[in-house]
Amino acid sequence: MSEKLTAMITPLVRKALPEKRIWDVRSESMSSTFSKRRKAIAEKLGNPKLRKITFKTFRHWKATTKYHKTKDILYVKELLGHKNIKNTLIYTHLVEFEENDQFVVKVAKTLDEFTEFLELGFNYVSDYEGMKVLRKRK
């Protein structure tokens, strides 16, 4: 995490939790610890490609998987905090959609069932004869 990002987050954290600190270390310390752990794991597993993983790699992975799951580039844009959609469009070429996407479909007859399905990650599709139809990608 860069010093600039730390400087931007610190006032927000102190405002929300004035008596507590989230991180009690400097960003250089976190970065060097991450690098050392990454190197040790790469050597232990005999996989030098693991040394190429960075914090930004995790951000790209998260964005790409969210885009694949939702197919909603505006949602991913908001998730990443991008101001310009062009920055978010980078992730669209990384995803190959299967020709036959498969879904699990559920029908909620009561409000409790509907709430339960939403909490399990299902998305509302439509109403049918007074029931709610929901689906989730397999």
Count up the domains in the chain and report the number.
3
At residue 46, the pLDDT reads 92
Residues 58 and 43 in one domain: no
Q: How far apart are CA 132 and CA 123, in angstroms?
A: 10
Domain, as residue range, for 66:
54-97
Question: pLDDT of 21-60, one tens digit each?
Answer: 555 666 677 788 888 999 999 999 999 998 998 888 888 8
Average pLDDT of span 130-134: 90
Residues 18 and 36 in one domain: yes
Residues 125 and 78 in one domain: no
- Could you give the strand order of the β-sheet that contains 131-137, starting from the edge strand earlier in sequence? 103-108, 131-137, 123-128
Residues 88 and 108 in one domain: no
Residues 2 and 22 in one domain: yes
Question: pLDDT of 61-114, one tens digit each?
Answer: 888 888 878 878 888 888 888 898 888 888 777 666 665 667 889 999 999 999
Q: How far apart are CA 136 and CA 69, in angstroms?
A: 9
Residues 89 and 109 in one domain: no
pLDDT tops 60 at residue 17: no
Residues 110 and 87 in one domain: no
Average pLDDT of span 9-27: 64
Residues 111 and 133 in one domain: yes
Residues 6 and 49 in one domain: yes
Residues 1 and 48 in one domain: yes
At residue 2, the pLDDT reads 73
